[in-house]
Amino acid sequence: MSEWQLTDTFPSTSGEVRWAGLGEPGRDPVVLLHGTPFSSYVWRAVARSLARRHQVFVWDMPGYGASEKSAGQDVSLATQGRVFTELLAHWGLDEPLVVAHDFGGAVSLRAHLLHGARYRALALVDPVALAPWGSPFFRLVGEHSHVFEELPPALHRALVREYVSSASSPGLHPAVLERLTRPWLDDLGQAAFYRQIAQADQRHTDEVQDRYGEISMPTLVCWGEDDSWIPVARGRELVARIPGARLETIAGAGHLVQEDAPAELTAALMAFFQDPRRPGN
């Protein structure tokens, strides 16, 4: 399995961000946002496919993947929204196409509604966008993160592997599971894993969810039909709140649609990007 490398850095207000560009410069830009507890690695297949026609930008949020992880770091949704806005300015992108998964969905929505980021079109993939969110496990860890940070490494590794595995419906290839969990398994990563859960505050979506009716850009919502983290019914509710938005469900896919059905997801995105305002898109 080929390695995924983010070759560039950006000194954001919340620590160093690692990012990379794929495809020829000057082509129609697409920016991909990952979710939690993941990284840009989940986008590798989709990004490489999209790069045949687009210039694709991928990045690891502060506190995730290859980006900076540090004690006391602010990795909240509020901060990630600001960092994304900083990155768009750094890249010189005025109205890119944006694809955002999970936690990244809330980041893209906050950047647009609170910080004025503009997109030509927005595709949300199983996003964190509507209250209530967070499983009982997620809330338990958030309330006792200081206790979980002290878990012995073997127990922490088992917990992270089980948690990440549950995001896929058919199951993850062992090499993919290893790569997705690797950033969380050293001392810095273990603390960062529980830090990002502890800072995942629902008020950051409460602040914007009543404003989704203001979204005027073409919007596609994709959802894995077998998502056990956020049920597809939440996708239908979200589409009802965004004027003109369309829902596309993907059979056989869980929360990690990029891993479970990358070809189907890429096809849906390509059709949407080709003519975002076409009826049916």
44-62: average pLDDT: 97
**What is the model's pLDDT at position 141?**
87
Checking if the pLDDT of 273 tops 60, the result is yes
The encoded tokens of residue 136 equal 């009982």
pLDDT at 2: 56
Parallel/antiparallel/unpaired status of strands 29-33 and 97-101: parallel
Mean pLDDT throughout 210-233?
96
pLDDT (0 to 100) of residue 67: 97
What is the pLDDT, as a whole number, of residue 1?
42
Encode pLDDT of 147-191 as tens digits.
Answer: 998 999 999 999 999 999 999 999 999 999 999 999 999 999 999
User: By percentage, how much of the chain surpasses pLDDT 70?
Assistant: 98
Q: Is the confidence at residue 209, as pLDDT, over 70?
A: yes
User: pLDDT tens across 120-146, in order?
Assistant: 999 999 999 999 887 788 888 888 888
End-to-end CA distance of the chain, in Å? 34
Residue 280 has pLDDT above 60, yes or no: no
**C-alpha angle with apex 224: 222 to 226, nearest 5 degrees?**
160
Tokens 């750094």 correspond to: 90
- Decide: 59 and 87 in contact? Cβ < 8 Å: yes
264-265-266-267 Cα dihedral, nearest 10 degrees? 50
pLDDT at 275: 83
Is residue 279 predicted with pLDDT exceeding 60? no
Q: Is residue 64 predicted with pLDDT exceeding 90?
A: yes
- Quote the percentage of the chain above a pLDDT of 90: 89
Q: Which domains does the chain have, with CATH numbers?
A: 8-133+202-274 (3.40.50.1820)
What is the torsional sign of CA 216, 217, 223, 227? negative
Residue 8: what pLDDT? 98
